[in-house]
Each structure stands twice: as C-alpha cells, then as structure tokens.
Amino acid sequence: MMAQTGQVQSFDVLIVGGGPVGLSLGIALAKYIPGMRVGLLDRRKLTVPKDSRASAIAAGVRHVFEAIGVWDDMAEAANPIAEMKITDSGSGDISRPVFLNFSDPRRQGEPFAHMVPNTASAASLIAAGLAHMTVLEPGAVSGFSAGPAGGRVELEDGRAISAALVVAADGGKSMLRGLAGIKTFSHDYRQSGLVTTISHAQPHNDIAYEHFRPAGPFASLPLRGHRSSLVWAETPQTAQALLAMAPQDLALRIEAAMGSTLGAVEVVETVQSFPLSLVLARRLAAPRLALIGDAAHVIHPLAGQGLNLGLRDVAVLAETLVDAVRLGEDLGSITVLERYERRRRADTASMALATDGLNRLFSNDADPVRAVRDFGLSLVDRIDPLKDVIMNKAAGATGAKLLKGLSL
C-alpha cells in the first residue's frame, strides 16, 4: 500500500534501484540477516522487462545466485560458455585467425560463465525480491540527506523514507550519487553498442567469439540452440546506418564481421543501440550511503564484465553488512562503509583500466600496432599459467565468501 504524503516509512536498509544488482543485495540481506527490514524503491513498477538481451554470468556471480536461491530458475534458460576464442582483423580482412583461445578442462566441468537471458534472470530475482523485501510503490527520488540517526530519501510525490543505510543501485546516471555530492570520472568512447540475437546455421558448441575490429569489438555469445547474443561496438554513424538496414542486409553485414564463423545468420530480435562510456565514481561510500552497480561504475562491455562487477559489489557489501550486524555496529556509519569501499576499489579500478586499455589498443587498424598486439596475443596463448590468471579473474570466484560459494 502506498504511504500517504507526509508519512515517513522506516527501514534498516533502503535500496534504490530494482535492477538485478539491487534485487540481489536485498535478497542476500534478508536471507543472511534474519529480521532485517529491507525496502526496495524504483522509478517503475517491478515487472519483468521486455528485454531481448542476455548477460554473461561469471562463475563467481553464479555462486552468489546459488547462495541466495535464485539460480535454479535461471539455469533452465542458461547456456554455458565453455570456451572463448579471440580474433583480430583489419577492416578489409576476410579471414579471422584465432590468436588467443581460453578453455580450461581443469575446472572439473564448471564453465567460467553462462549466458542468461535478461528476462529469465529478472523473473527469478523479482519473484525472490517480492518474497523477501518490502517493495515500495514506484517513486522518483528528489532529495537525500544524512544524519546521525540515518539517511532520509525524499520523493517527488511528497513521501519520505528513512533508513540506517541507503544503497544507490539506480544506474549510471544515479540521482542519489549526485545528491550526495559524489563526483565522477567519465570518458566518452565515441562508440555505440549494438545488441541483438541471431540464429545461425552452424552450432556454436558453447564457444564465445570476440572479434576485435578497427571500430570496436564484436562478440558473439552462445545461447540455447543455434542462437547467439551479439554485442557490437561501432562508430555512432555506422551504428545508425546499421539500425536502418533491412534485416536480411544486416544479417549479411554480421556474417562479414564474424567471418562466417557460424555460417549463415538471421537476425531474430530487434536491434538495440546505446552509447558507450566509462564512468567511475570517485567514492563508493558517503555517510549513510553506499554505491553499487552502475551507480558506482560503468565500463566498456567488451569483456562482458559490467553486470558481474556490480554483483561483486553485492557480494562484498552483503558480507560487510552481515559482519557489522554481528559486531553490533551501525550499518550506515562511514566506518563500516569505508571497509566496503576499500575492498571494492582495486577490483573496480583494475577492471575499468583493463577494458579501457583493450578497447584503445584494439580499436586501431594501423599495421605496426596490429603486428605487435597479435604477437602479444599469440604469446599469451602459449603461457598456460598466465591464461589461468586471466581466466580466474574473468570467472570472478575469489574474494568475498558468496563469490566462492560460501555462506555468510
């Protein structure tokens, strides 16, 4: 029921943002801190979105989903990524030679990631969220203040909500981040990301392909059946031209970009486009406020790590808050929140630097640069210990307890 204007609802933790990151945190807190009053607020009604995209869920994040009880439903629609092949090609190249191949039979049958349709993950998380949290009526945030007793969030409709801790999970243009005065570092990649789903003649055999091309990376990621999810970075001008193409003409362009890796293709979902940028919050915590997910960091999608990075925030913040409750500490105190920030800063910065550097290195068609990077890729491909380090980083199954499959 909607609170009347002028009334103040009160929670232990208020999460603003009903995406997968905010939902996962709320479910984890309700599960591991019995009796905790968790509220969830979003601008829109909490429903499964009409979203044709899919997301790569790393092994560590899958462990989080298993721990909070939402993975089994997602798994029915998930497809494993057992191998990744990386190619590098110029604008006029026909062939797509593989310079680096990631596969690890020593993981004892555990893929380092799964592709999960966003509708499947949203349905599972929303069902669990409704069961474990107080989901508030849709509302737009207009104000935030922090005091000794807690944080206070004011809404445009006149309502107010107080909590010992407010968590901003409200996206890359976070209103709460701005209201708290937290500055950001940002960079426009001058690229557009195109996302769609294709069907193809050849089986993908659970292999993901990352084709580095002069305008940006082109990834095909395996879905159930003879289908793959595409994430394609292009110049904004080329992206607009691609969006205007007839489906059969676009399919031919996709085949050319892929080098016919999967044979003839058909575009089976509406193509979506969005601008690509890097956004890093200069702080992840302020009095009574913690940032998670895109509110804390937006990175280039070439490694498929954006959502995984946000869910690693969830694993660390949930563990930090569980420990604080056991120690009798104030959940929203800056002392507690700075522990979360310290644990997340290095991982966030290193992933942002890695994706930014790779995009700059590979979005270049100069022959000398290509020769050096292709030699480097081939060299990495021959050094198994280094490949293990990279794969383990991508799998993300280290650090916080939930990422390792351990209970809090």
Per-residue pLDDT of 289-304, as tens digits, reads 999 999 999 998 876 7
pLDDT of residue 112: 82
In the predicted structure, residue 105 carries a pLDDT above the cut 70: no
What is the rounded (10 degree) CA torsion for 329, 332, 333, 337?
100
* 217 vs 329: CA distance, rounded Å: 46
Residues 6+ apart with CB under 8 A from 350: none
pLDDT at 394 over 70: no
Q: Look at residue 393 in the predicted model and tell me its pLDDT.
A: 63
| 117 pLDDT above the threshold of 50 | yes
CA proximity to 254, closest of 39, 24, 96, 40? 96
Q: Does residue 206 contact residue 82 with C-beta atoms inside 8 Å?
A: yes
CB-CB neighbours of 211 under 10 Å:
20
248 contacts: CB under 8 Å, gap ≥ 6 = none
pLDDT score, position 2: 39
| Lowest-confidence region among 182-196, 198-212, 257-271 | 257-271
Task: Give 125's contacts (C-beta < 8 A, 6+ positions apart).
Answer: 20, 23, 24, 27, 70
Q: Which two tokens stand for residue 218?
A: 């082109």
pLDDT band at 1 (very low <50, low <70, confident <90, very high): very low
pLDDT digits (tens, 9 = 90+) for 44-100: 999 998 887 899 999 999 999 999 999 999 999 999 998 888 877 655 554 455 556
- Amino acid residing at 271: V
Mean pLDDT over residues 280-294, rounded? 97
Alpha helices of 115-180 — where are they, by DSSP H?
118-132, 175-179
The strand pairing partners of 285, in sequence order, are 290
Alpha helix segments (H runs only) across 259-399: 306-326, 334-362, 367-381, 384-395
Amino acid at 156: E
Residue 326 has pLDDT above 60, yes or no: yes
Find the helix or strand (DSSP H, E) in which 165 lies: strand 160-168
Find all residues with CB under 8 Å of 321, minimum gap 6, and list them.
13, 29, 33, 165, 331, 336
What is the band of 120 on the pLDDT scale with cuts at 50, 70, 90?
very high
Pairwise pLDDT comparison (389 vs 263), residue with the higher score? 263
Of 7-11, 57-61, 98-102, 144-148, the least confident: 98-102
Q: Is the pLDDT of residue 215 over 60?
A: yes
Tokens of 203: 């089986």
How far apart CA 40 and CA 30 sit, in angstroms, is: 12
Kindly indicate the confidence band of residue 106, based on its pLDDT and cuts at 50, 70 and 90. Answer: very low
Q: Which fold has domain 8-71+117-186+277-361?
A: FAD/NAD(P)-binding domain (3.50.50)
Q: What is the mean pLDDT of the chain?
A: 87
209 contacts 166 by C-beta, under 8 angstroms: no
Instruction: Tell me what pLDDT residue 4 has.
Output: 46
CA 66 – CA 123 distance, rounded (Å): 15
pLDDT value of position 366: 53
Higher per-residue confidence, 163 vs 351: 163
Q: What is the mean pLDDT of residues 14-28?
A: 97
- In DSSP terms, 14 is beta-bridged to 39, 166
For the chain, give the percent of residues with pLDDT over 90.
66
| pLDDT above 60: residue 123 | yes
Apex 140 CA angle, 138 and 143, nearest 5: 135
Question: What pLDDT band is residue 350 in, cutting at 50, 70 and 90?
Answer: confident
Looking at the predicted structure, is the pLDDT value of residue 367 above 70?
Answer: no
pLDDT band at residue 260 using 50, 70 and 90 as cut-offs? confident
Residue 183, burial from CB neighbour count under 10 angstroms (0-12, 13-18, 19+): exposed
**pLDDT higher at 214 or 406:** 406
